[in-house]
Structure 1
Amino acid sequence: MTIRISSLPRRALLATAAFAAAACALPALAQSAAGFPNKPITIIVPFAAGGTTDILARLVGQYLGNELGQSVIVDNRVGAGGNIGGQLAARSPADGYTLFMGTVGTHAINQSLYKKMPFDPIKDFAPISRVANVPNLLVANPQQPFKNVQELIAYAKANPGKINFGSSGNGSSIHLSGELFKMMTKTDMIHVPYKGSAPAMNDLLGNQIAIMFDNMPSAIQHVRAGKLRPLAVTTAKRSPELPDVPTIAEAGVPGYEATSWFGLLAPAGTPADIVNKIDAALIKVYGNPELKKKIADQGAEPVVEKPAEFAAFIKAETAKWGKVVKESGATLD
């Protein structure tokens, strides 16, 4: 006897349809995770082309794409200190095909700096791995009377409010590296914000400001030319580019560390197996000395880690820089 579907009770019919749909979906989900990626991956970069964030995204993306067997496209979405790109990435499908090149600004500083954030750096992202650390370099005009960190601290304490330090703008890592130094040394120095690093560097070279905590790639050329005096690097370890220059911690400020870092993240909800697959591919390509050299040539330190390690690092950085932002009084609308 043939049973007509229409003769089944409505509740039974709906249950049968739901079961059939679920049964069909399960193999598809499993296949999509196992077969990832089967189309190009996009890395959203929240800053302009040609900058450090963009350069690192293109370098890492090229090698990552080769390892995963798909092309990686870089999409620059500029504005609001990285928040425009961050918002776009946070709202993208959580399928592993849209990634975000986050920075110390987008994922550790902006949350405290901006009165209103368009995304939550912790809740809206699944961390994958850091890709690089970039040290800041504490440099002084050679006409200044101090030749090392201890002399700088002594001079600042003897002359409160007389040392000016420049930065690329309020809330930048360059600015907050100086504020952290002030906090930890209990010195009174005056912050002078500029519209970008270049004009600040010009005034430092002209002795209009005394010191600057500038990014290594832009400062090192002037150090090598003898136009600036290097006092210390802001990272926990010395830079291979300037092995004779001590860290600020070594030079007399124990525990000081300020790093401009960069890392890959996915939208929150991205399946863990896809996140882990991308991370495993990163770990593999970072074994390539060619990629490491290209990153080092940018004045950066190559870094790769597990997603849980990166997540813990972001939380620690958020707490640290939140305290510095509050102490400095820096704020942006």
Structure 2
Amino acid sequence: MWIWERLFLIALVAVLPDLALSQPLQRWPERTVRLISPSSPGGSPDIVARLFAEKLSVRWKVGVIVENRPGADGMIAIQAVLGATDGHTLLATHSGAVTVTPAIRKLPYNEEDLRPLSTAAIDFLAVAVPATSSVRSLADLIAAAREKPGALNWYAAPGGPVMVFGEFVRNNRLDMVFVPYKAGSEAVRDLSESRIQVSLVPLATALPLAQAGRLRLIAITNPEAAPIAPDVPTALGAGHPELALQGFLGFFAPKSMPDFVRQQISGEIQAVANDPEIHSRLGKVGMIARGSTPGYYAQYLDEQRRHWDRIARSQKIVPAD
């Protein structure tokens, strides 16, 4: 019996290092989880990140905090996630940060180092004008811009929105002036006070002022009307396919995170997306909760990258540093 006991002890000692290494991963998360958002407070990614953080904190029984890292078309937030070494840092972002940004900027990191976990919500985007404006449709906007060349100022959120609204301006041969802002919330505030005349921004950003009677929504860029604003026509339905734009908000993790941990996190995010309370709360700010598998999200992102590459080439955009 002694020799068998000795062999057993040798075998046990051999597997102990592997067991020790696997233990921390099986208990993920072990500490506070950070969700990095590329938007300013109040932007669509920030809203989604905070709602999901609240639910994930309960499910994981650890704190889940949101950090805002706006700027550089999402690259600052992505670098923060890829530079983290704690194994507990995720990205909560609009898809444009990983689809549009590579088409217009030279990246200081490898795209392959970031892996999709799950979609979280469908984001609606709206063309809005001041409530005091006489413009009530895209046709009115075109007429007003042609009547007063160079008199109308416009803003669109960075990435996809600014590219598609720029396409709308060019296709219709409009003389309008683009005004840049650091944050979409600042542009929407100025729009409500008629300092600028039209904006293309996330519906979640414009909706509170529209409901307060300070803005008028004249078009939705998504293929389908927004459930919370069913009377606002789609740009496609108004005959302007160049303004068609729909974005997913979703979660990402570094490639360095073990596959089974990413799968576990994806399952938790999908469960939160299916929570009736999350559906209700996102619906009130003009979004639709929608989770997905990593594979589905990856396929969608690949299609979108090809789409934005084509648009960037058609607009002769050369990726900038």
Pairs within 5 Å for 1:1-333: 23-93=15-85, 95=87, 97-114=88-105, 116-120=106-110, 122-141=111-130, 147-150=136-139, 152=141, 164-167=152-155, 171-182=158-169, 185=171, 187-195=173-181, 196-197=183-184, 200-201=187-188, 204-205=191-192, 209-254=196-241, 257-326=244-313, 327=315, 329=317, 333=321
Judged with a 3 Å threshold, the aligned counterparts in structure 2 of structure 1 residues 145 and 174 are, in CA distance, closer, same or farther, namely same
- Which letter maps to 2:226? S
Q: Tell me if the contact between 1:46 and 1:82 (Cα under 8 Å) persists in the aligned partners.
A: yes
Aligned mates of 1:40, 1:111 — CA distance in 2: 30
Q: How many residues align?
A: 310
Alpha-carbon offset, residue 128 of structure 1 = 0.3
Further displaced range: 314-323 or 26-35: 26-35
Q: Tell me if the contact between 2:164 and 2:243 (Cα under 8 Å) persists in the aligned partners.
A: no
- Which letter maps to 1:306? T
Alpha-carbon offset, residue 256 of structure 1 = 5.1
Q: Tell me if the contact between 1:163 and 1:209 (Cα under 8 Å) persists in the aligned partners.
A: no
Equivalent in the alignment of 1:9:
none
- Which letter maps to 2:64? V
Q: Secondary structure at 1:123's aligned position in 2?
A: helix
- Listed as ranges, the gaps of 5+ residues in structure 1 are 1-18
Report which of the two structures shows the higher radius of gyration computed on alpha carbons: 1
Q: Tell me if the contact between 1:165 and 1:189 (Cα under 8 Å) persists in the aligned partners.
A: no
Alpha-carbon offset, residue 320 of structure 1 = 2.5
Q: Tell me if the contact between 1:165 and 1:178 (Cα under 8 Å) persists in the aligned partners.
A: no
Equivalent in the alignment of 2:7:
none
Alpha-carbon offset, residue 80 of structure 1 = 3.0
- Which letter maps to 1:42? R
Q: Tell me if the contact between 1:126 and 1:270 (Cα under 8 Å) persists in the aligned partners.
A: no
Alpha-carbon offset, residue 42 of structure 1 = 1.9
Alpha-carbon offset, residue 147 of structure 1 = 3.9
Alpha-carbon offset, residue 118 of structure 1 = 1.9
Judged with a 3 Å threshold, the aligned counterparts in structure 2 of structure 1 residues 282 and 104 are, in CA distance, closer, same or farther, namely closer
Aligned mates of 2:283, 2:263 — CA distance in 1: 25
Q: Tell me if the contact between 1:160 and 1:187 (Cα under 8 Å) persists in the aligned partners.
A: no
- Which letter maps to 2:78? G
Aligned mates of 2:210, 2:39 — CA distance in 1: 27
Aligned mates of 2:302, 2:151 — CA distance in 1: 33
Q: Deviations over 1:21-75 (max 9, x none)?
A: 9744433454444333333322222344444333321210121122233322323
Q: Tell me if the contact between 2:156 and 2:165 (Cα under 8 Å) persists in the aligned partners.
A: no
Alpha-carbon offset, residue 151 of structure 1 = 5.4
Q: Please report the RMSD computed on the Cα atoms of aligned residues, expressed in angstroms.
A: 3.5
Aligned mates of 2:206, 2:86 — CA distance in 1: 39
Q: Secondary structure at 1:179's aligned position in 2?
A: helix
Judged with a 3 Å threshold, the aligned counterparts in structure 2 of structure 1 residues 286 and 205 are, in CA distance, closer, same or farther, namely closer
Q: Deviations over 1:79-118 (max 9, x none)?
A: 43432221121133484x221112234212222233x322
Alpha-carbon offset, residue 226 of structure 1 = 4.7
Q: Tell me if the contact between 2:156 and 2:162 (Cα under 8 Å) persists in the aligned partners.
A: yes
Q: Structure 1 length as normaliser, TM-score? A: 0.77
- Listed as ranges, the gaps of 5+ residues in structure 2 are 1-10
Alpha-carbon offset, residue 266 of structure 1 = 0.4
Q: Secondary structure at 2:232's aligned position in 1?
A: coil
